Structure 1
Amino acid sequence: MPVKYILCLVSLLIAGQVRSQVSPPTYPIIPYPTSLSAGQGQFTLSAKTALIVLDKRFQQEGDQLQQLLTPILGKSLTTSGTASKIVLQSDPTITASEGYSLRIEPRQITLSAKDAVGMFRGIQTIRQLLPASIEQKSGAPSGSVSLPVLQIRDQPAYVWRGMHLDVSRHFFSMDYLRKFIDLLTLYKFNKFHLHLTDDQGWRLEIKSYPKLTSEGAWRTFNNQDSVVLKRAVANPDFDLPKQYLRQTDGKTQYGGFYTQAEMRALIAYATARHIEIIPEIDMPGHLAAAIKAYPFLSCTGQEGWGKTFSVPICPCNESTYTFSETVFNEIIALFPSQYIHLGADEVEKTTWAQSPACQELMKREGIKNVEELQSYFVHRTEQFFKSKGKKLIAWDDALEGGISPTATVMYWRSWVKDAPVKAVRNGNPVVMTPVSTLYFDVMPDKNSLSNVYQFNPIPAGLTDSEKRSIIGAQANTWTEYIPSENRVDYMVMPRMTALAERLWTNQDRFSDYQQRLTSHYPRLDVLGVHYRVPDLSGFTEENVFTNQTALRIRKPTDNLTVRYTTNGNVPGPTSPVLIDSLLILQPMTVKLAAFTTSGLQGDVYTLRYRQQSYAEPVRVTNTQAGLMSTYVKGQFKNVEAMLRATAPDSAVVSQVQVPTIAKAGSFGVRFRGYLTVPATGIYGFFLVADDGGILRIANRPVIDNDGNHGPIEKSGQIALEQGSHPLALDFIEAGGGYTLKLLYSLNGSEPLPIPASWLKH
């Protein structure tokens, strides 16, 4: 076996996960390096190896490498010697701060960088080249491990490579935040956006306003808590952590907060790993927790809710600025980050419009509307930040009333397609965080990894020089329905790895990435990450057969064991194993789930089978190419409501997608025509819709993907004779997603786009 395959195979064997269908990836590195040249042979790392730090600036990184290697070798490396050695050195020819070069030869590893951060990124590459057992902090040392001979030159494509975590909706321990930082470290992220305050809870101690945490950090169960508690009956990952419940005045309260000492320790932990923690204190909206503790902050002197969002703080009273500047003084003293995130999104401005103080301020300052009043608050706060040497970040909502070109804008509103272009042309640096792709609180499915990996941070419409203002991207994890640490793991992993590679490498190596990812699951197992088990495929949710059929599963890795039930129960560790296929002779429901050797259970799939005759084709004449699409403006909760609305605009489309005439934030589209299939068979259809969609073919229901939700895929089958069949697809967009895709398969083949020649009207 070639030496370059040995390391990955060892890593897989350690976890008992060996694939037979696909050869192990050569170098299991995520994100993949900018350039990698393979060599011949291997470097043997043992307790006799010396670790030599030639530049004192890299001593901390040298100590971290020692800590990484000691458990597997059984002792620390010496710092001198003529046998095999690892050399950390400066290289002035490397221009990127996070760049590094790695040369592995049979007797020496040379890691070079311009700055300490680049040295640290290179150490993570060495870490990934080592077997997964390197992550174990206890157990018998192996004595020696091997690394392949190679040469790497590497640097990131984007300077902002971030992950966000909302700790306001649900609270997470300091231990978990360190674990989260460890994952960021492994995959070469450099920003950790910590959402510390919102309506549901204020999570950071502010000494000047102690009631922010004594009262604002706690709540009685809200509607989101009720939802997750119902889900917890079937899935314990949705249960509220008992350590964050307390009894006060006979009521159960849920919450928690971080002391400044705890946060200071976390910041030091992140800084040592070259991760910048960006605090977000959301203002002027999303502050119900603070207003509950200090009612003077609102224009009405009380908390409450408007038409859509919570009552905000009042930007027209000087007491508001005394509060905010006092809070931010403590934040600035605590966080070394150059940035502070102000939020400035989803502000319910009704109380401002009705406030005499605001009317007076607007008249005095020449402010024409409440959007400009929000801009006044943001501008004034930014000036305060600047006086303290800090930069302001805001969500792209802040563009509406005007924003200073010195602020950094985070673009999240996918339906406002020109927002990042406007921000760039206003002079703002932009971080891309679109809800349509990079909101990791949206349920993942089998398309999620591809969607994240294929994400292009550069929006359409920018010149080459303007593109430089897109400084990177991050994924946001909002936790309304993510109450536990296990659930966070499930939602972000492995999607986090796809984003890491997109932002560091910025190349399309998706097929290769999928193979490399397989070798990372054993490492995540050792690290205790409750990741989402890879998807099974080869089936649809709604299935039909004419006489009989067989259920055959395609597994992404051979290490997965598929178990099933036919009695309605959820499959468990003792349920029957689906080894090859399951013969279906009558209508029935099959539930199945994959189990890893480490004990993780994958998603439960519910497959319904019903017997169906082939639909006869209809005779059609004088048809034209394409489907007729009718565009309906409006906010709809379901397809039925959209079908009752007036539809003034229509156009012919050659494929099923959101038509170009759809410009509103929320709308519906009705597609009508005929599907002409070239052969008789069982046709499967796969509908991805954000928000909802319903597909009917031959006047038979095929897929019901209705409702307001993220880009979820649902699938169904229909038996069709060769020829033309009426097709009706109804789609609703509630705001933000703009995602609609329809694929087909024939008799269980791989899903493909529907040929344009099949669509007529």
Structure 2
Amino acid sequence: MKYYSIILMLLVVCNSCQTTTKTFTEEEISLVPKPSEMVLTEGSYSFSKSTTVFIDNDKQKPAATYLSDLFKNAAGYPIAVSESRDGAAIVFSKDDNIKPEAYHLEVTPKKISIKASDAAGYFYAVQTLRQLLPASIEKANSDEKNWLVPSVVINDQPRFSWRGMQMDFSRHFFGIDDVKTFLNYMALYKLNTYHMHLTDDQGWRIEIKKYPLLTEKGAWRIESSHDKTCNELAKTDPLYSIDPTHYHERDGQKMYGGFFTQEQIKEIIAYAAERQIEVIPEIDMPGHLKAAIDNYPYLSCTNEAGWGENFSHPACLGKETTYEFTKNILTEIAELFPSKYIHIGGDEVNIQSWKECPLCQKAIKDNHLKNEHELQSFFNKDIEAFLNSKGKRLLGWDEIVEGGLSKDGTMMWWRNWAPKMRDIAAQHGNDMVITPCFEYYFDAQHAVTPFDKVYQYEPVPENFTKEQAKHILGVQANLWSEMIPNFKRLQYMAFPRMLALAETAWTSKEDKNYDDFQRRMNMQYQRLDALNIRYHIPTVTGLKDKVAFLDKATVELKAPLENMEIYYTTDGSIPTKTSKRYTAPLEFTATTKLNTIAYRGEVASETKSALIEKQTYLEPVTITPTKGALKRWSAVKQFTVVDSVALPKNAIFTTVKEINLAGKEGIEQLSMVFKGYFYAQTEGLYEFATKSDDGSLLYIGDKFVVDNGGNHSAIEKNGMVALKKGWHPITINYHEATGGGALEVFYKAPNSEKKVLNGNAIAHD
């Protein structure tokens, strides 16, 4: 019996050993961003209470501490430091041949080796190790038993030095705990630059000791228009609820606001530095300064705060007090932030104030300047010289290029509709960060800036030479907070798009592959779940905005991601998990509003709706129009949204061959109407689509086919209509609101491919 007991014990021990080691396949590994080189080998390393780490210099401490804290939080024990290299399971060592931020990571069943030449390289190796561990490493007091890491050899380095995320604290405020949480997200995905937009018209969010009114008064406001909109949306979507912790009673009124003390800023900077993240402050000037001018009105041209047609009145650049005020503020900012750059904004300045100001006009004349753009450039260069004297470099939005940019000025290119700013800066030898509005503004709805659009964007222009490309420091995404009133909403807008940005920022262009990225993302969602991140998932696919049918419609739905379930309603209600579950294609014989939703566990997509419409054929008109063109009417500043665009009685038309903005690019508040005829080559169901920035509406005769209304970035909407063979009247209304602008129109004939609407398919009378 004694022998049987020993054998049984050995079997138990062996079985226990088998549960703590395995050989992984590549399909079981998800690393974002994708490493430069990875070779998967046999076996795996198992972390335990006895695992120790050896470090031999102070640059390795932040990485080793971070790893230890992960295990202390999730497994209940830290990774202890060993005094012996030979006795340690995890060994950090210095290799001067490895580039800054790069690292070498080798995992075997017995040991983990991490090599780098700087603190960032060690830290990023640990973040890779973190992603190789089970997603439960992100949970406090996890019940995970097997902390396995696959045996791999990884050599890795970043593509860009600037891998940034921005948060806007002015429109809606986020506290220090939210900031720290967000910095941890950035660290996980090897992002290294945190841009804090601290001041704007809607609130001043940083303590300036010389000007106490900036936070005593400027950090607080009564309900704004954005607050009202959020409160209205919150009635049906709790993600729009304004964080109640930022409401305070002040002067007998309920006011929204908050700010960071300088001590809190120091705490944020130190926390970020431990995660190899540089904090860049933005103090907007000379525009977007209303929160300051409200309390120091002598700064404006009229000695009072106010608004122009689109933007607030800026600081007066003809007054010496403006230069003194801004430099006093920047003195405190420069002393507080160790960052190389200080961002001064410089965008969306209402230059009309300067045109009407005698002091500004005198400054233009006295300094031999051509116009108000050069006046702003004069201010920028003066501020830049001041920042240089403090050991800092000036950073601003791409408008700072318009009046001339100094050799050392660095710009953030955000206006897709102003590519010349990017070209001018490159030709002039100025560095830039690529942060385009249409791809990297994560406050945009996911339908407007979808996940794949973020991933597919290439930040280096095709026409750039190698020398010009060197001036692209990297990429950054922005989270403007007008419609982001709480941290859960911020998570929802940032994720998963932040991972797509991170891969572009780190991984070489040649190594990126969207299909492979999507495979890795399916596992990354588990990590986001473990981190309790409220991320966005795409809506149900396979559903058009409007589906037309004659006798019967069959609609087949598809889940956007793996392991998802679809639910739907046909009674107009919003679907939930208690609604009908989709299991097979749906059939319709009457006009119906179909609402769908997809769930991944408890995480739901947005509702996707479609009108399933029973139609009869529209009859063609009996005319012979002139093929190959439509008529176009246009107007400027007559309407604010496409839904209100209307032709005047004596509208004057021109003839155009394409439905686009040709000859009207870059005009704000532009409205257009295209009229003519569409030729249906055969009887059947036709699909039309418009892709527009901002709104567009498409009609066939009196039939409303495509509703792409509202003011928004470029999105595509579609609709279907039943047509008999022949010519049918077509009308496209379009409106562009505040910059940018895009318009394309497509059609798809029965049993045919999607095509641009032009050529012999269009005509006019």
TM-score with structure 2 setting the length: 0.89
The match for 2:522 among 501, 518, 533 is 518
Note the C-alpha offset of 1:134: 0.5
The 3-state SS of whatever aligns with 1:283 is coil
Deviation string, structure 1 residues 378-427 (Cα, Å, up to 9, x no partner) = 11111110000001001111222222121101111222221110112222
Match of 1:200 in 2: 202
The match for 2:275 among 265, 273, 276 is 273
8 Å CA contact 1:436–1:738 kept in 2: the answer is no
Note the C-alpha offset of 1:276: 0.8
Distance 1:466 1:490 in 2: 36
Match of 2:120 in 1: 117
Distance 1:318 1:181 in 2: 39
8 Å CA contact 2:136–2:144 kept in 1: the answer is no
Note the C-alpha offset of 1:230: 1.1
The match for 1:549 among 532, 548, 553 is 553
8 Å CA contact 2:159–2:506 kept in 1: the answer is yes
Q: Report the count of equivalent residues.
A: 736
Q: Aligned in 2, Cα 1:721/1:373: closer, same or farther, shift over 3 Å?
A: same
Match of 1:20 in 2: none
Distance 1:42 1:709 in 2: 49
CA RMSD of aligned residues (A): 3.1
Match of 1:652 in 2: 657
Task: State which structure, 1 or 2, has the greater radius of gyration over its C-alpha atoms.
Answer: 2
Is 1:236 matched up with 2:241? Answer: no
Higher relative contact order (CA 8 A, sep 6+): 1
8 Å CA contact 1:298–1:313 kept in 2: the answer is yes
Q: What aligned pairs does 1:64-463 form with structure 2 within 5 A after superposition? A: 64-78=66-80, 79=82, 80=84, 85-95=89-99, 97-142=100-145, 144-445=146-447, 448-463=450-465
The match for 1:691 among 659, 675, 694 is 694
Q: Aligned in 2, Cα 1:474/1:245: closer, same or farther, shift over 3 Å?
A: same
Distance 1:34 1:416 in 2: 33
The 3-state SS of whatever aligns with 2:360 is helix
Distance 2:625 2:355 in 1: 58
Note the C-alpha offset of 1:539: 0.6
The 3-state SS of whatever aligns with 1:289 is helix
179-188 vs 684-693, which moves further: 684-693
Distance 1:82 1:159 in 2: 35
8 Å CA contact 2:666–2:741 kept in 1: the answer is no
Distance 2:508 2:305 in 1: 46
Q: Aligned in 2, Cα 1:92/1:583: closer, same or farther, shift over 3 Å?
A: same
Distance 2:760 2:184 in 1: 50
The code of the aligned residue for 2:592 comes to M
Distance 1:446 1:385 in 2: 38
Distance 2:674 2:44 in 1: 59
8 Å CA contact 1:680–1:720 kept in 2: the answer is yes
8 Å CA contact 1:193–1:279 kept in 2: the answer is yes
Distance 2:490 2:575 in 1: 23
Q: Aligned in 2, Cα 1:48/1:425: closer, same or farther, shift over 3 Å?
A: same
The match for 2:597 among 587, 593, 612 is 593
8 Å CA contact 1:165–1:476 kept in 2: the answer is yes
47-56 vs 443-452, which moves further: 47-56
Deviation string, structure 1 residues 246-299 (Cα, Å, up to 9, x no partner) = 233443211111111111111111111011111000011111111111112212
Match of 1:18 in 2: none
The code of the aligned residue for 1:687 comes to T
Q: Aligned in 2, Cα 1:735/1:312: closer, same or farther, shift over 3 Å?
A: closer
Distance 1:422 1:700 in 2: 47
The 3-state SS of whatever aligns with 2:657 is strand
The 3-state SS of whatever aligns with 1:476 is strand
Match of 1:59 in 2: 61
8 Å CA contact 1:414–1:736 kept in 2: the answer is no
Gaps of 5+ in 1: 1-5, 12-22
The 3-state SS of whatever aligns with 1:519 is helix
Distance 1:748 1:210 in 2: 69
The code of the aligned residue for 1:119 comes to Y
The match for 1:484 among 486, 501, 505 is 486
353-362 vs 125-134, which moves further: 353-362
Distance 2:209 2:188 in 1: 35
Match of 2:718 in 1: 715
Deviation string, structure 1 residues 609-642 (Cα, Å, up to 9, x no partner) = 2211244677898986x66585847355344637
The 3-state SS of whatever aligns with 2:344 is strand
Is 1:734 matched up with 2:737? Answer: yes
Match of 2:708 in 1: 705
The match for 2:610 among 601, 607, 610 is 607
The code of the aligned residue for 1:115 comes to D
Deviation string, structure 1 residues 552-580 (Cα, Å, up to 9, x no partner) = 32002343332333332222343332333
Q: Aligned in 2, Cα 1:407/1:446: closer, same or farther, shift over 3 Å?
A: closer
469-478 vs 545-554, which moves further: 545-554
Q: Aligned in 2, Cα 1:178/1:685: closer, same or farther, shift over 3 Å?
A: farther
Q: Aligned in 2, Cα 1:84/1:741: closer, same or farther, shift over 3 Å?
A: farther
Q: Aligned in 2, Cα 1:190/1:81: closer, same or farther, shift over 3 Å?
A: closer
Distance 1:192 1:101 in 2: 26
8 Å CA contact 1:618–1:723 kept in 2: the answer is yes
Q: Aligned in 2, Cα 1:513/1:686: closer, same or farther, shift over 3 Å?
A: farther
Q: Aligned in 2, Cα 1:674/1:126: closer, same or farther, shift over 3 Å?
A: farther
Distance 2:520 2:245 in 1: 38
The code of the aligned residue for 1:510 comes to Y
Note the C-alpha offset of 1:646: 6.2
329-338 vs 344-353, which moves further: 344-353
Q: Identical aligned pairs, as a percentage?
A: 37
Deviation string, structure 1 residues 569-617 (Cα, Å, up to 9, x no partner) = 22234333233343323222222222332x3332122222221124467
TM-score with structure 1 setting the length: 0.89
Q: What aligned pairs does 1:635-650 form with structure 2 within 5 A after superposition? A: 635=637, 636-639=639-642, 641=645, 644=648, 650=655
